[in-house]
A and B are shown apart, each in its own frame.
Chain A
Amino acid sequence: AQTVTQSQPEMSVQEAETVTLSCTYDTSESDYYLFWYKQPPSRQMILVIRQEAYKQQNATENRFSVNFQKAAKSFSLKISDSQLGDAAMYFCAKNRDDKIIFGKGTRLHILP
């Protein structure tokens, strides 16, 4: 079965610093989507960034960027200039058939 693995249950970063959240996945597909979702204390799942596997260029959304290594099946999220509002659970996810499957999440703490 395809899986999404996040090996860091929790991480902390000083405000204004940069942090990288790790994610690996397993798939036999050549074309797929990868995602990072943010779940703040309000509990709603919010899409942070999306990467299409056939695109070699790493996706970027303002302070959020990814390092997509297709051969290594690695998809890390870098948050630059961390802000207090970035504190949340972050879920790495991948599409499979007509649904999305999630990793177990990484809880990110922002230290003032």
Chain B
Amino acid sequence: EPEVTQTPSHQVTQMGQEVILRCVPISNHLYFYWYRQILGQKVEFLVSFYNNEISEKSEIFDDQFSVERPDGSNFTLKIRSTKLEDSAMYFCASFGQLNTGELFFGEGSRLTVL
């Protein structure tokens, strides 16, 4: 069964360092997302990406964050200068068609900022 894959599963970084989280969405999907979940809290929308551009972003997704799909398969989330409060689980997800409703999630990347 096709699945969304994410790497790394866990990354520890020092505050101020750049981090890149990688995702390979399901191959025929067109809509891509990053969500964040701070430990024990709700899953929060960060950004959606369609047709090689951001379609929507939340207020969390400030100038420190960026996304790109450099090679047509990988979908990356970059945090330029990490802060302690960026420590969270980051989930990549994809839709095939919006009207089917189902969002397919990866297993998540845990980011720990020290």
Chain A residues in the interface with B (C-beta under 8 A): 33, 35, 37, 42-47, 50, 52, 91, 95, 97-105
Contact A103 B42 (CB under 8 A): yes
**B100–chain A nearest beta-carbon distance, Å:** 9
C-alpha spacing A30/B48, complex, angstroms: 23
A-B contact pairs, 26 of them (CB 8 A): A35-B101, A35-B103, A42-B107, A43-B107, A44-B105, A45-B91, A45-B105, A46-B105, A47-B103, A50-B101, A50-B102, A52-B101, A91-B42, A91-B43, A98-B55, A98-B56, A99-B33, A99-B45, A99-B48, A99-B56, A101-B45, A102-B42, A103-B42, A104-B41, A105-B42, A105-B43
- Say if the beta carbon of B26 comes within 8 Å of chain A: no
**B61–chain A nearest beta-carbon distance, Å:** 12
C-alpha spacing A35/B55, complex, angstroms: 22
Closest to B45 in A: A99
Known contacts A47-B102, A52-B101; decide if A102 and B107 are in contact (CB<8 Å): no
**A89–chain B nearest beta-carbon distance, Å:** 9
Contact A104 B42 (CB under 8 A): yes
A43 partner, pick from B55, B56, B93, B108, beta carbons under 8 A: B108
* Interface size of B in residues (CB-CB distance below 8 Å): 24
Closest to A42 in B: B107
**A58–chain B nearest beta-carbon distance, Å:** 16
C-alpha spacing A95/B56, complex, angstroms: 14
- Say if the beta carbon of B31 comes within 8 Å of chain A: yes
Closest to B42 in A: A104
C-alpha spacing A91/B42, complex, angstroms: 8
Contact A43 B98 (CB under 8 A): no
**A94–chain B nearest beta-carbon distance, Å:** 10
